[in-house]
């Protein structure tokens, strides 16, 4: 018999809203496969209701016309409300996504709260060209305007933080949003919407529809009522969204897959590099688009690096994500576990890589965790560039290690994937670090670290990792239109240039 669980509703026009059809999806706790909530499997009719609410709030409501200072005040309040409720929200994220509570609270929520405050402040300081008399007879000014309704389609690896990265800059700039969270991790998004309401946000500025990406997500992307789509997700999903968005020529902002290279030169501090590979590679059980998944290690330090790495990886604690000691929780779903298991099988059987560690579910987890989607931290060594485990995103705790002999070879191999999101370089030689970071075709390069992001700096991809930026002032380029307004200064009936179109030169 199924346990009683909370039944959630959609959030449309500032109200909790039953779906048009009474269809619901179970939401699981991935650490024990128990159902923890039921959320609406919304239909295209529900998507339309949410779009209409966002449209009306944008076209007729006060939000887009409010001063940046007044919007900022409300958005600061949102950050304060999250902060006051952070233990509950971070624990809900842990229960739904499976990430360790320390990662949820002290990383995702701590950073996300700072992101919200940054966006609230930065929107008061948007930049553009100075007003001026560029042709001598008129004054040109730039207006930065909200675009309209933004659909924010978010993934399951950082469910709440990705809503912050997409929806908060969008609303800070005066847009209204419809958020579609990933089907397996909708819970903190729904809580966030209810909490935002208490900040004084006008009704309809934020709406949430849950349900299948191929139904509700696609309805948002195809709708003429939506002006912009922001997605964090798979590259394949990004391609589908670009295609579907072309029907209405709407803007898309895409943060897609990654396969980050991690380059260790012979002069690197190997203790620091091996530590960096553990945190960079196994963060969030490897379910991170910036995760350090391809470790290129100079041949002269290859063995000693691996020795240090193996020792550290053996100490990763996999288990109950609510426990303070746990480093890695489960993977988010049985589908993701199957994907990881299949890629590891390919690594062993088809690629012929050398399995050093892991490659299985942890054998001695006790109930209820024995029913969870846990996977051991896994290392493959002696990999080659053409292997599928080197080329394809696995999105699990699986790292591939490859030797290299020259900086040119390291750069060429690092760049030789379809992705271009994040990368890192480990060396004490500042000249080498500068040269290599310029040559890497990735939107982010870390030197002697892997993962740090800050609110003030952009995060986004090159190549098939997408385009547009999350975080920083650059993100407002995705959520504002730039308008040129021109004022004639002459007051003349006939301007000097009119003859080029009509009549003769005076
Ligand atoms: P998706 O790209 O399918 O999911 C991301 C979001 O897009 C979800 O909200 C999803 O909804 C939605 N979506 C899916 N299809 C469509 C569509 N046709 N139109 C509009 N929205 C859509 O990722 P998956 O969950 O399937 O994960 C697959 C792989 O993607 C992972 O194994 C990983 O490799 C990669 N990934 C990368 C992420 C990143 O941060 N770059 C994040 C997540 C995954 P729904 O959940 O209902 O399907």
Domains, the chain, with CATH or none: 47-255+472-484 (3.40.605.10), 260-447 (3.40.309.10)
pLDDT of residue 2: 55
Q: How far is the CA of 335 from the centre of ligand 1 (A)?
A: 12
Q: Catalytic residue among 93, 218, 289, 376, which?
A: 289
Is the model's pLDDT at 393 over the cut of 90?
Answer: yes
Contact (CB, 8 A) for 259 and 417? yes
Ligand 1: nearest atom to the Cα of 181: 9
Euclidean distance between CA atoms 126 and 145, whole angstroms: 11
Other C-beta atoms closer than 10 Å to the C-beta of 483 total 11
Mean pLDDT on 295-300: 98
Average pLDDT over residues 109-137: 97
Return d(Cα 310, Cα 178) in angstroms, integer: 45
What's the pLDDT at 157?
98
Mutate to test the pocket of ligand 1, among 47, 234, 392, 444 (most ligand atoms within 8 A of CB): 234
Q: Which pair of structure tokens corresponds to residue 183?
A: 């089907």
Tell me, in angstroms, the distance from the centre of ligand 1 to residue 235's CA: 8
Closest alpha carbon to 294 in 272, 262, 264: 262
Q: pLDDT value at position 487?
A: 98
- CA–CA separation, 71 vs 64, rounded Å? 9
| Chain center to CA of 466 | 11
What pLDDT, in 10s, does the model give residues 307-366?
999 999 999 999 999 999 999 999 999 999 999 999 999 999 999 999 999 999 999 999
Going by pLDDT thresholds of 50, 70 and 90, the confidence category of residue 161 is: very high
470 lines ligand 1 (CB under 6 A): no
Query: What letter does residue 282 receive in the DSSP assignment?
Result: H
Ligand 1 atom having least distance to the Cα of 155: 5
Residue by residue, what is the 3-state secondary structure of 101-134? HHHHHHHHHHHHHHHHHHHHHHHHHCCCCCCECC
**pLDDT band at 474, cuts 50/70/90?**
very high
CA of 237 to the centre of ligand 1 (A): 6
Q: What is the pLDDT of residue 3?
A: 67
DSSP state of 4: P
pTM assigned to the model? 0.97
Ligand 1 atom having least distance to the Cα of 393: 34
Residue 257: CB within 6 Å of ligand 1?
yes
The answer to whether the CB of 180 is under 6 A from ligand 1 is yes
Q: Is the peptide bond before 368 cis (omega within 30 degrees of 0)?
A: yes
- Facing residues of 251 across strands? 228
In this predicted structure, what is the pLDDT of residue 4? Answer: 80
- pLDDT (mean) for 463-469: 98
Supply the DSSP symbol for 459: B
For residue 506, what pLDDT is reported?
A: 85
Q: What is the pLDDT of residue 434?
A: 98
Confidence band of 485 (pLDDT split at 50, 70, 90): very high
Q: Given this model, what pLDDT does residue 399 score?
A: 98
Q: Which of 8, 37, 50, 35 is nearest to 216 (CA)?
A: 50
Each residue's pLDDT tens digit, 40-64: 999 999 999 999 999 999 999 999 9
- Which of 93, 255, 393, 444 is the catalytic position? 255
Instruction: Provide CB contacts within 8 A for 363, sequence distance 6+.
Output: none
Q: Is the confidence at residue 11, as pLDDT, over 90?
A: yes
27 lines ligand 1 (CB under 6 A): no
Q: How far apart are CA 355 and CA 96, in angstroms?
A: 31
**How far does residue 65's CA lie from ligand 1's centre (Å)?**
34
For residue 117, which of 163, 167, 158, 78 has the smallest C-alpha distance?
78
208 - beta bridge partners?
A: 11, 179
237 lines ligand 1 (CB under 6 A): yes
The best mutation among 24, 96, 155, 165 to test binding of ligand 1, ranked by most ligand atoms within 8 Å of the C-beta, falls on 155
Residues 249-279: tens digit of each pLDDT: 999 999 999 999 999 999 999 999 999 999 9
- Round to whole Å and give the CA distance between 282 and 292: 8
Of the chain, the percentage scoring pLDDT greater than 70 comes to: 99
Q: Is the pLDDT of residue 76 over 90?
A: yes
pLDDT of residue 211: 98
Q: Which atom of ligand 1 is nearest to the CA of 156?
A: 43
Average pLDDT on 15-32 reads 97
Compute the distance from residue 214 Cα to the ligand 1 centre, in Å. Answer: 10
Q: Is 255 a catalytic residue?
A: yes
Q: What is the mean pLDDT of residues 206-226?
A: 98
If you average pLDDT over residues 286-302, what whole number do you get?
Answer: 98
Ligand 1, closest atom to CA 236?
2
pLDDT of 299 strictly over 70: yes
């Amino acid at each position: 018999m199924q346990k009683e669980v909370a039944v959630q509703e959609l959030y449309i026009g500032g109200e909790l809203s039953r779906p048009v059809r009474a269809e619901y999806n179970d939401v699981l706790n991935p650490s024990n496969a128990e159902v923890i909530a039921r959320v609406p499997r919304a239909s295209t009719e529900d998507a339309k209701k949410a779009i209409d609410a966002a449209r009306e709030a944008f076209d007729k409501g006060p939000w887009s016309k409010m001063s940046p200072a007044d919007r900022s005040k409300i958005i600061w309040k949102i950050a304060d409300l999250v902060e006051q409720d952070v233990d509950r929200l971070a624990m809900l994220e842990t229960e739904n996504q499976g990430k360790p509570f320390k990662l949820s609270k002290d990383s995702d929520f701590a950073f996300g709260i700072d992101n919200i405050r940054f966006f609230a402040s930065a929107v008061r300081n948007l930049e553009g060209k100075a007003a001026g008399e560029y042709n001598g007879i008129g004054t040109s000014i730039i207006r930065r305007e909200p675009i309209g309704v933004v659909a924010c389609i978010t993934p399951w690896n950082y469910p709440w933080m990705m809503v912050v990265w997409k929806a908060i800059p969008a609303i800070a700039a005066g847009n209204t949003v419809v958020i579609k969270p990933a089907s397996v991790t909708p819970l903190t998004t729904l809580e966030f919407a209810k909490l935002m309401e208490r900040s004084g946000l006008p009704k309809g500025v934020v709406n949430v529809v849950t349900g299948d990406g191929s139904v509700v997500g696609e309805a948002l992307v195809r709708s003429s009522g939506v002006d912009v789509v922001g997605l964090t997700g798979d590259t394949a999903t990004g391609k589908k969204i670009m295609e579907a968005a072309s029907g209405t020529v709407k803007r898309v902002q895409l943060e897609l897959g990654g396969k980050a290279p991690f380059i260790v030169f012979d002069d690197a501090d190997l203790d620091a590099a091996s530590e960096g590979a553990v945190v960079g590679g196994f963060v969030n059980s490897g379910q991170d688009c910036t995760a350090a998944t391809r470790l290129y290690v100079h041949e002269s330090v290859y063995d000693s690096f691996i020795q240090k790495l193996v020792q550290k990886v053996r100490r990763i604690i996999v288990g109950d994500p609510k426990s303070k000691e746990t480093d890695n929780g489960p993977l988010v779903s049985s589908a993701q576990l199957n994907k990881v298991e299949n890629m590891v099988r390919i690594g062993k059987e088809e690629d012929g890589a050398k399995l050093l560690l892991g490659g299985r579910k942890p054998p001695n987890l006790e109930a209820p965790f024995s029913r969870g989607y846990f996977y051991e931290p896994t290392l493959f060594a002696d990999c080659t560039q053409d292997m599928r485990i080197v080329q394809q995103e696995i999105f699990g705790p699986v790292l591939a290690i490859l030797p290299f002999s020259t900086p040119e070879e390291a750069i060429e191999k690092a760049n030789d994937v379809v992705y271009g999101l994040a990368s890192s370089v480990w060396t004490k030689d500042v000249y080498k670090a500068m040269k290599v970071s310029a040559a890497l075709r990735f939107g982010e390069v870390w030197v002697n670290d892997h993962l740090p992001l800050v609110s003030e700096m952009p995060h986004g991809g090159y190549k098939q990792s997408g385009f547009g930026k999350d975080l920083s002032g650059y993100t407002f380029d995705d959520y504002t239109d730039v308008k040129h307004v021109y004022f004639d200064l002459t007051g003349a009936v006939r301007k000097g240039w009119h003859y080029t179109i009509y009549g003769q030169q005076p």
